[in-house]
């Protein structure tokens, strides 16, 4: 997809059906060069069940999951560490030009929350912890959140999901001291572009630098 085609599709989306679902095919085509040797699955419409536990993870189903080609989805009463490692990342899409949160804003929400987190914030942070890399876009702005050295604290992260599955209700994981330490010190944000249309060539170059396997 070139810049002209992208702009035309965005115009049609705005005029005809301005919902986030319309952005998915565009994102899929844009990230295709980064997916060699990997699998891409649309999981936004899944329901939480034993077969979908590993996709739901801590807080929600993302829109697109990036997977190792050897990944096998099975019913999970417990999450297998080896299978969890095969979740290579995900994509979270918002409607065209809708506000995106920065990492600083996400951390501030946690710092200021006493009883509960804003649902969208909890979902996004949960995706970062569970999928390790999250490509986040509204069709204009694109950014990448990533979790550094995730293998060092896999037990803490998987433990949250095991507890959720066991209890059938989400625990207040953002109040866990170990998880807070991970959020504050191990999650990073890379701005890919503030406006992909205005900075198309640089945007495409930055997208191609995403390494889901790292």
Task: Report domain extents, the chain.
Answer: 3-208
- Cα(133)–Cα(145) distance, integer angstroms: 6
- Give residue 99's Cα distance to chain centre: 16
Statement: residue 169 has pLDDT above 80:
no
Per-residue model confidence as pLDDT tens digits over 21-76: 999 999 999 999 999 999 999 999 887 777 888 999 998 999 999 999 999 888 76
* 11 pLDDT more than 90: yes
| Model confidence at 107: pLDDT above 80 | yes
Question: Pick from 44, 81, 78: which is nearest to 62 by CA?
Answer: 44
- In 3D, which of 111, 154, 117 has the Cα closest to residue 132? 154
137-147: average pLDDT? 97
Q: Residue 177: is its pLDDT beyond 80?
A: yes
**pLDDT at residue 176 greater than cutoff 90:** no
Contacting residues for 126 by C-beta, under 8 A, at least 6 apart: 57, 58, 59, 60, 173
Residue 173 pLDDT level (bands cut at 50, 70, 90): confident
132: how many CB neighbours lie within 10 A of its CB?
A: 24
Which of residues 167 and 122 earns the better pLDDT score? 122
Copy the structure tokens of residue 202.
């640089």
Give the model confidence (pLDDT) of 150-165 as tens digits. 888 889 999 989 888 8
Scanning 32-144, the segments in alpha helix (DSSP H) are 53-56, 81-84, 103-112, 119-131
What pLDDT does residue 165 have? 86
pLDDT band for position 89 (cuts 50, 70, 90): very high
Q: Is residue 118 classed as helix, strand or coil in its secondary structure?
A: coil
Q: What are the Cα distances from residue 149, in Å, to 48, 84, 111, 171?
A: 28, 14, 23, 24
| Mean pLDDT, residues 139-157 taken together | 93
């Amino acid at each position: 997809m070139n810049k002209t085609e992208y702009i035309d599709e965005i115009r049609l989306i705005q005029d005809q059906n301005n919902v986030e679902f319309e952005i998915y095919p565009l994102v899929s085509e844009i990230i295709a060069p980064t997916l060699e040797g990997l699998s891409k699955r649309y999981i936004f419409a899944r329901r939480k069940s034993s077969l979908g536990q590993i996709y739901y993870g801590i807080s929600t189903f993302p829109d697109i999951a990036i997977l190792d080609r050897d990944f096998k989805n099975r019913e999970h009463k417990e999450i297998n560490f080896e299978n969890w490692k095969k979740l290579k990342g995900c994509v979270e899409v918002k409607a065209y030009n809708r506000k995106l949160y920065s990492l600083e804003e996400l951390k501030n929400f946690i710092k200021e929350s006493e009883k509960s987190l804003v649902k969208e914030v909890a979902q996004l942070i949960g995706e970062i912890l569970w999928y390790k890399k999250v490509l986040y876009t509204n069709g204009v702005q694109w950014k990448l959140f990533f979790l550094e050295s995730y293998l060092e604290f896999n037990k803490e992260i998987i433990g949250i999901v095991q507890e959720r599955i066991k209890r059938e209700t989400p625990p207040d994981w953002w109040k866990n001291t170990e998880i807070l330490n991970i959020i504050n010190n191990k999650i990073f944000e890379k701005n890919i572009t503030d406006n992909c249309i205005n900075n198309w060539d640089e945007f495409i170059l930055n997208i191609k630098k995403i390494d889901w396997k790292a």
